[in-house]
Structure 1
Amino acid sequence: MDSDLRHYLAELVDRARAVLGADLVGAYAAGSVGLGAYQPGRSDVDVALVVAHPVAGAAKRTLVARLRHEALPCPARGLELVVYRRDVARSGSPEPGFEVELNSGPAMPFRATYDPADRPAADGRFWYALDRAILRSGGLRLLGPPAADVFAEPAPADLRRLLSTALRWWLALPLPEGDGPAPGAEDAVLGACRALVRVRDGVWLSKPDAGRRLADRGEDADLLGRCVAARHGGPPPTADEARAFQRRVLAELDGTH
């Protein structure tokens, strides 16, 4: 972890503690930071805060005001922060269950959501349970007990359903059509790889590591190699290649292949 990111996360935790006090019982870096795949200039900073009790409305708004990019400049593309109650984090619920969600950064539209019911369905309500599942095995502790003691995965049937729902969401995203490279297609493919590795092997890996694992087994090695390289400046795959791979993965998740 580079020094800018380390200092940013330390300041974020200090500010959150100043707002939430003793009710803040844990803070964890998730996503690419937690899974060791953070790329400066490309990755987001994903953070989960865990509180002992529901957060009052005024405290929610104060937390957003103190942590948004304009108040605490994010050194990455943006901050994606979610606050969960401790009982929700431990429950394995497939529901969103968050107290506060904040998206804010130099290359990210600002959004603050204070109730899961206000989350647009089109943006996906499956992310949160999946993120908590990943946090259980790949959360980097910033404050509090180890992530494995705080977060739980959904039941196997719920997890598989959530992964399929996420893949359908990815498939619905527009990609540049035609025979040329489609920016963003690499993430669509590697996201499908992560889901497939979790179902087959029972482990959560970063998107690039999941792509490498499947490529090392000889599965779509050329496509997956190009997708990993695209994250470092190489050309992305075409939309048709990405869609075909995603559909094959979805068929396996749904048990129809």
Structure 2
Amino acid sequence: MTVAARAPHRVVGYARQVATVLRTLPGTDLVGLYLHGSAVLGGFSPAHSDVDLLAVVGRNTGEAGQYRLGTAVGRTVDRCPGRGLELTVITAATARTPGGCPFEVRVAGTATGTPHVIPGSGHPGDPELVLHLEVCRRYGLAVTGPPPDRVFSPVPAHRLREAICGQLDWALVQGAQGYAVLNACRALRFLADGNLCAKVEAGRWYLSRSPHHPLVAEALVLHQSGDHRELSGAGARFVADARDLLLAAQD
């Protein structure tokens, strides 16, 4: 199945609305807008999944421009067909050479809440952003702009492993059982074959190798039902073991 066929029509339609806002906002210099996350990897659920977008602009917009851009996009959040919007805006230079992963602005919000706008000016950058860049390069849907592989450069494997380790560290402290265990499955899938996949697909992949694994089978049910129960001791050990394997691969 192609990316375009996999992406839900309502999500693509909403992403086009965001693209229109970005194109018509003075001084934005939009290069392209790319849909990533579960909408292109599979497993998108309107009740439980965010709409993940990565916008690329030609140049730094400055703090005032970042707020203006974020506020304009934030006005569309009430139309978002998923749980909420997660938009990050970066420059074309960052798409080609991530470095410390600076961003212009981030917008996060749900249909019922006030959008949260985080300007990138003065921010040290987000190392985990490399995962979004690589997912966009491999699987992203160009809502507007050139094909992703003409905008995003390949991210070295060691940087992807570092970012995945960061996600697992966060999951050990903050993650719910379903999220954390499936994220560990995603890490193990990347170690096995370099694939970056959705959490649900990762869980199913793990069960194909270890049928009826109770922890992973439970995690799939919890994640797909929206149950955010706390990470158990067994779940934490599973995540920590995946993290240890990633660190060993780093060495």
Task: Tell me the distance in 1 between the aligned counterparts of 2:36 and 2:113.
Answer: 17
Amino acid at match of 1:111: H
Q: Deviations over 1:123-172 (max 9, x none)?
A: xx332112112211121110111212222343222222222222112112
Q: Give the conservation status (yes or no) of the 8 Å contact 1:226–1:234.
A: no
Q: Deviations over 1:11-68 (max 9, x none)?
A: 1111111115672111101111121221011101110001111124333222222211
1:47 is the counterpart of 2:53: yes
Task: Tell me the distance in 1 between the aligned counterparts of 2:212 and 2:62.
Answer: 49
Task: Tell me the distance in 2 between the aligned counterparts of 1:143 and 1:232.
Answer: 31
Aligned length, in residue pairs: 242
SS of aligned partner of 1:38: coil
Q: Give the conservation status (yes or no) of the 8 Å contact 2:177–2:222.
A: no
Q: Which aligned runs of 4 or more in structure 1 are off by greater than 6 angstroms?
A: 234-237
Residue equivalent to 2:4: none
Matches within 5 A, 1:195-210: 195-210=187-202
Amino acid at match of 2:245: E
Matches within 5 A, 1:82-161: 82-93=88-99, 95-106=100-111, 110-115=115-120, 117-118=122-123, 125-161=126-162
Instruction: Indicate how the Cα distance of structure 1 residues 126 and 185 shifts in structure 2: closer, same or farther if over 3 A, else same.
Output: farther
1:255 is the counterpart of 2:219: no
Task: Tell me the distance in 2 between the aligned counterparts of 1:153 and 1:78.
Answer: 28
SS of aligned partner of 1:49: strand
Q: CA RMSD, aligned part only?
A: 2.6
Instruction: Indicate how the Cα distance of structure 1 residues 102 and 25 shifts in structure 2: closer, same or farther if over 3 A, else same.
Output: same
SS of aligned partner of 1:152: coil
Q: Could you list the runs of 5+ residues in structure 1 that have no partner in the other structure?
A: 176-183
Deviation (angstroms), 1:4:
3.5
Q: Could you list the runs of 5+ residues in structure 2 that have no partner in the other structure?
A: 1-6
Residue equivalent to 1:181: none
Deviation (angstroms), 1:72:
5.1
Q: Give the conservation status (yes or no) of the 8 Å contact 1:69–1:104.
A: no
Amino acid at match of 1:186: G
Residue equivalent to 2:183: 191
